[in-house]
Structure 1
């Protein structure tokens, strides 16, 4: 297995306008970790997602969606808890808002028992996000256990901060995530999240925090800058990639798409510059199509954005 990841995947009900006005909702499967898993699977990598789903139609929907994308599942169906649900409101053309209904969900009951066998089976990379430990004390324990176990077994640990302010405070996030960063070989964060991994919060710049993490043994500190691209800090210096110019349709899932692209080239042995380029490319696919992962490319589609003029048709 190339990559193992775990977390909560929910049913996402998307609106095209303000929820208060009613209207049609579309149904999607969404979760930070499973978004990355789908992105990697579409590029031909072997990926396993571990998690819990309710024994309900929503869980059936999520399981079928992930299996259809070629993601291997280590899933427990929980008859006592429902599959989590979120509503994603397209409030304006430039602003979306998420409303979570995941308290007491099957995914929030994730425990280290759910991860013991997948970790024993092994993978080249264990990918973690800061969403999972925010769900419950059990999920936090499982998160720490997985990071420590994977690092001890020589797996590459990837950590995407993915801070969710509706799930926990920055102080709670820092207390949980900063100690785990020392187990990570790759850290990914937006420029306003990286400080959550610092042992000296509020005292330095992004570059200073990156240097602190490199001193702890992190190999790649990757900072997502949105429309300005991304930077990567390593022992060899700093690399930058500009964002790929596309018309933005839906920015949800763009960070997960970037992560999938970056890890894909890491698996293939490519250098930091190549990792950043593919990350930016997958991010461009994500923002120029609707959905968390639905518009991500297959491997033979990676050149589409470069080979066609804007508005062109591949005939």
Structure 2
């Protein structure tokens, strides 16, 4: 596994848009008379912040407007221990904004990001020296949906052959239907994910995109090129397919999810990706990396924002060392 990384173990670079986020507090409908809480939200910066929590050197590359929201975003991500010195300030375009509207069954998210500073990002982001010195570059399927130049950025990153770059690339499908014109996401996201070294996709996402009857092994057959493919099956389990898996002779590792009281599911997938990647970078085997993914995801599930506090180091170590039987016990939680 370690052969995937640079010998000198450079930083992780996360590239993508982060927005200011408004949500009612306490969690309630926007139609209520409660106050609105301001936070930040972005798939790639979520991953960056959790990686920093887990002790990794990480930077976030993006663009924000020359406005109060942009300054708030950079301050929040930087306060989590992420290097934000590579974030560009756009004097003409605004920082994106989202508004959460919690409901009884699910949280609706309203985006105000058209023409945002980050939507003007392009392939030149990859010329940043932080990218050239990285061990890993993390991208998601949100970015190519934002604009043609953003799609060009992701295409260039994933189009560079493995032998011509020192860093590995991870790609989380992170399908956001509202961002894609009808009928376009399935083909584009499959092609992009299949070029990554490490790919993440939720089973529900895969079923929505590529076929309602898909099982994890079917997803591996659709995405056969990544050296590692992680298929997340919600609160049930996560499956990691090693290179050549899904009928190609490689291995598969399945780890059940922890039982966790869910406050809000938003951000849990990003947290899982961060935990799994941190586990690989720390030299863990696939099982422990999946466990660390679950532990990190449970921290996001317990809060209304995208970024929640991790268990202490001793608790994480204890849980990672559990036997399979103890980990899988029906009453097992991360507390």
TM-score in same-fold range (> 0.5) = yes
Pick one of 234, 250, 254 that aligns with 1:240. Answer: 254
The answer on 1:256 being equivalent to 2:265 is no
Contact 1:286–1:292 under 8 Å retained in 2: yes
The count of corresponding residues between Structure 1 and Structure 2 is 305
Pick one of 166, 170, 174 that aligns with 1:154. Answer: 166
1:112–1:196 CA distance, 2 compared to 1 (3 A): farther
Contact 1:241–1:277 under 8 Å retained in 2: yes
Q: CA RMSD in A?
A: 2.6
Aligned partner of 2:202 in structure 1 is 190
1:297–1:18 CA distance, 2 compared to 1 (3 A): same
Aligned partner of 2:15 in structure 1 is 6
Pick one of 93, 97, 111 that aligns with 1:81. Answer: 93
**Gap runs ≥5 in structure 2:** 1-9, 323-330
Aligned partner of 1:286 in structure 2 is 300
**Structure 1 residue 225: deviation in Å?**
1.0
1:298 and 1:153 map into 2 onto residues whose CA distance is 36
Contact 2:299–2:308 under 8 Å retained in 1: no
**Structure 1 residue 209: deviation in Å?**
2.9
1:69 and 1:282 map into 2 onto residues whose CA distance is 15
1:305–1:85 CA distance, 2 compared to 1 (3 A): farther
What is the TM-score normalised by the length of structure 2? 0.83
* C-alpha distance after superposition, 1:65-122 (max 9, x if no partner): 1111111121110010110000011122x42110000001111111112331146532
User: Comparing 171-180 with 282-291, which one deviates more in the overlay?
Assistant: 171-180
The answer on 1:112 being equivalent to 2:123 is yes
* C-alpha distance after superposition, 1:100-157 (max 9, x if no partner): 0000111111111233114653211111100011111111011111223473303211
Contact 1:36–1:260 under 8 Å retained in 2: yes
1:170 and 1:270 map into 2 onto residues whose CA distance is 40
**Structure 1 residue 195: deviation in Å?**
5.9
1:204–1:289 CA distance, 2 compared to 1 (3 A): closer
**Gap runs ≥5 in structure 1:** none
Contact 1:285–1:295 under 8 Å retained in 2: yes
1:305 and 1:25 map into 2 onto residues whose CA distance is 36
1:48 and 1:228 map into 2 onto residues whose CA distance is 32
User: Comparing 22-31 with 186-195, which one deviates more in the overlay?
Assistant: 186-195
1:125–1:185 CA distance, 2 compared to 1 (3 A): same
1:205 and 1:243 map into 2 onto residues whose CA distance is 17
What is the TM-score normalised by the length of structure 1? 0.88
User: Comparing 179-188 with 280-289, which one deviates more in the overlay?
Assistant: 179-188
1:196 and 1:150 map into 2 onto residues whose CA distance is 29
1:273–1:143 CA distance, 2 compared to 1 (3 A): same
1:23–1:224 CA distance, 2 compared to 1 (3 A): same
1:18–1:115 CA distance, 2 compared to 1 (3 A): same
1:28–1:171 CA distance, 2 compared to 1 (3 A): same
1:166 and 1:100 map into 2 onto residues whose CA distance is 9
